[in-house]
Amino acid sequence: MLAEFKKLTRLSAVYGAGTLLNSIIGFLLIPIYSRNIAPADYGVYNLFAITGQVVSLIGLMGLSAAMFREIIYRQSDEKTVISTAFNTLLLVTAVFFGLLIVFAPQICDLLFGGAHADLLRLVFLSNALTNFGYIALSTLQIREQAVRYSRLMVIRFVIGVLFNILFIVVFQMGLTGMVLAELVMSSTAMLMYLWILRRDLSLRLSPPILRSMLRYGLPLIPFQLASIVLTSSDRYFLEHSAGSDQVGIYSLGYKIAMIVQIIVSAVQAAWSAQMFAIAKESNAPRRYARILTYYAATIGFLGLGVSVVARDVIFIMADPAYHEGYIVVPLIVLSAMAFGGVNMTNVALNVKGRTELNAPIIIVVAIGNLGLNYLLIPPYGMMGAAWATLISYVALLVIEVMVNQRIWRLPFEYRRMLKIGLAWGVIYVASLGIDTGNAWLNMVFKGIVVLVFPLVLYALRFFEASELSSIAQMVTRLTGRLRARSKNESLNQVEK
């Protein structure tokens, strides 16, 4: 079991390094954004991003996700699958995004009161280019070329940082500069993706393979759209009830919490391929259950760290106009953790090809989320939005587990995961009493408190004897390597 989790961790770390660097653009640029862009403009930019995310998802048609099942599980010819997905996407993009660009003014009237139509056209163009990248990145993930994947993300990261600084700080272009920087990143990445696929692409388009991929991928669209509703519809409610300023402040707090979502996405990038591979093993149910337990402990530890230091991070990095955003971070972190649980437990529907059941589940939850937003945001503002998000994701996790268990029962370790939740709560509450008056010093003391998390788990008898033995062996090997390195350095100094 540990071997499977180590493989998942290794691939997640490599995928996560690239994805993390790409997402760090927004995180590291928080001081630049908050000091050069008003909260209202930052709010509009986030609404642009959400709108682009929706149209990108529809235009992709679930093809990149379907490639995993088609190549790994159904063992269809790899190049035929890649060419079929790419050529189909090319045809759909020309029509779909072409219409969006033409009707951008009408869409702006509906969503933004008629302003920013030209910028929205650039957003649509950027998303059209980005969609082709999903085909290339899925190809690298299927081939487990994680290092190459990360290199692409590093290049994109560097380009993003440079052009964000150029357009926002040097040229003082504000909202327009943010949109242009994104377009430059997407355009450059498109050229890299075409280079990666140059030996895989042809004019082939297999109708049987396309039908198979669409049967798998299209039912994912309502699921993924509803996911966007869960994560993003609250911005539109905030926009109409409190204005773009509140959207900007809330979005900054959300961005801090999304550090956890980056890790969740990195794990999912590795898990998509590994999930189907494990399904072929005789002891697959046991492996799935144990991996989930280790995942919950790991993501719980990381999420706890982010939640505990969020206030101090925002106070250090952001302009005072954005400081209020810290209050939503713990709730959004818990929401991201719940969504990670959905990804890890949604095994039966994916492996057994029953993804059509995902749509009604998440649509119901999304409708409930819209109702919660309507009820909670007008009186409670940002906190109402955060609570609506958390309640919805917990409901989604519970329902997905129940449905998956009816199709393929997996022996999940609920009691151990309950202990993870208890340890999380104890540490978080303890951290609330730490306030030295200095944000940097607060982070040091809170970090020490977070490191107690494994000890609390040990006190709760979370670890099994075999796991404690494995941990002891890992520590022994690590200390042995450190001692050997220290000894070699000492000998080198003596020789000199």
Q: Is 29 exposed, middle or buried (0-12, 13-18, 19+ CB in 10 A)?
A: buried
- Kindly tell me if the per-residue pLDDT of 25 is higher than 70: no
Tell me the pLDDT tens digit for each residue of 404-445.
Answer: 999 888 899 999 999 999 999 999 999 999 999 899 999 999
Name the one residue in this structure whose structure tokens are 């996407």.
89
By the 8 A CB rule, do 388 and 229 touch? no
Report, as an integer, the average pLDDT of 297-325.
91
Backbone angles phi, psi at 35, to 5 degrees: -100, -10
Distance CA 413, CA 284 (A): 15
What's at 10, amino acid-wise? R
Distance CA 269, CA 146 (A): 10
Query: How confident is residue 38, by pLDDT bands cut at 50, 70 and 90?
Result: confident
Distance CA 146, CA 270 (A): 9
- The backbone region for 76, taken as left when phi is positive above 0, alpha when psi lies in -120 to 50, beta otherwise, is beta
- Kindly tell me if the per-residue pLDDT of 495 is higher than 70: no
- Kindly tell me if the per-residue pLDDT of 12 is higher than 70: no
Report, as an integer, the average pLDDT of 242-246.
83
Tell me the pLDDT tens digit for each residue of 192-234.
Answer: 888 888 888 888 889 999 999 898 888 878 777 887 888 888 9
pLDDT of residue 17: 53
Q: Closest Cα partner for 168 from 313, 27, 35?
A: 35
By the 8 A CB rule, do 69 and 355 touch? no
Distance CA 56, CA 50 (A): 10
pLDDT of residue 331: 95
Report, as an integer, the average pLDDT of 385-399.
94
Element (H, E) at 401: helix 358-407
Burial 358-390 (b: 16+ CB within 10 A, else e): bbebbeebbebbbebbeebbeeebbebbbbbbb
- Cβ neighbours of residue 26 under 8 Å, at least 6 residues apart? 33, 255
- Kindly tell me if the per-residue pLDDT of 479 is higher than 90: no
